[in-house]
Structure 1
Amino acid sequence: MFHHPVRHVTFDALDPYRVAVFWSAVTGFPLHPDDKEGDDEVLLAPGPEQPGVPGLLFVRVPDAKTVKNRVHLDIQPSAGTRDETVARLVELGARLVDDRRDPDGVLGWVVLADPEGNELCIERSAGERGAG
């Protein structure tokens, strides 16, 4: 049986560099050293300490996003809490799309959109899951 690992998750973008900078803050993946502002493609690649984890590739397209994504990334914070992560990403340019937290704030997730409107969900951190 053949297995085909995912090499990249690719995002269309009007401004690949700007969106990549945002996602670098989300994931901690560094921008590829050859990529710079104005490039038509910008890559975020996880380090060798994360083998098998796909990179995020941002490719310039001429048209803006117009409908809901059919695929999105669910983010589980590795440090801090879900709510701290949501606040940090909103400060970096994310927009709140839908608050799916339970009324007590313990369970659930938050749907955000990146600076070009791509949705992402922020889940509870591993620490919060262990405490619950």
Structure 2
Amino acid sequence: MTSHSISLGAFNLEAQDPAALAGFWAAVTGATPSPGGESVYLPPAGPGGFAMFFQPLTAPRPAHQASHLDLTVPWGSRQAEVDRLVGLGAGYKWDVLDEYPHVQWTTLADPEGNLFCVAEHPPADRPEAER
């Protein structure tokens, strides 16, 4: 049987202003942007991080966003992280707090309207009634 090793190389986004959007995401992740021509590469900020690549918008944005980032933070820190990201320029959209016992999340939009979520998962040793 063959063993496979696959990882995320980068999450790619088209942007009206690639440098500005990369600047927002650099503040979110703590990474340092690396511009190249009209595009900007944002490397992972550290082990376990993820890269992003921003390039000029080539067509109008679709009315429905088919994919988005789910970012995970430690249990109990979601609201503080959401507040930090809103302070950086993210737009608040909605919370999903009681629908699922294994996760709570807040959906935000970056300055160009791309949706992303900030999620927290309760510790596995936490009683079900407290989740």
Please report the TM-score for the alignment, with normalisation by the length of structure 2.
0.74
Alignment partners' CA distance in 1, 2:27 and 2:11: 16
- Give the conservation status (yes or no) of the 8 Å contact 1:14–1:64: no
CA distance in 1, matches of 2:104, 2:74: 17
Q: Aligned equivalents of 1:115 and 1:64: distance in 2?
A: 16
Work out the number of aligned pairs and report it: 121
Cross-structure match for 1:93: 89
Aligned to 1:117: 113
Q: What amino acid is the match of 2:47?
A: Q
Identity %: 31
Task: Measure the CA separation in 2 of the matches of 1:27 and 1:115.
Answer: 15
Give the aligned residue type for 1:50. P
Alpha-carbon distance, 1:43 to partner: 0.7
Q: CA deviation at 1:68?
A: 3.1
Q: Structure 1: which 5+ residue stretches go unaligned?
A: none
Change (3 A) 1:63 1:93: farther
- In structure 2, stretches of 5+ residues that fail to align are none
Superposed CA RMSD in Å reads: 2.9
**From 79, 87, 107, the counterpart of 1:83:** 79
TM-score (norm 1): 0.74
Give the structure with the larger strand fraction: 2
Q: Deviations over 1:77-101 (max 9, x none)?
A: 2697100111111111111122212
Instruction: Give me the whole-angstrom Cα distance separating, in 1, the residues matched to 2:94 and 2:75.
Output: 23
Name which of 30, 42, 65 aligns with 1:44.
42
In the other structure, the counterpart of 2:67 is 71
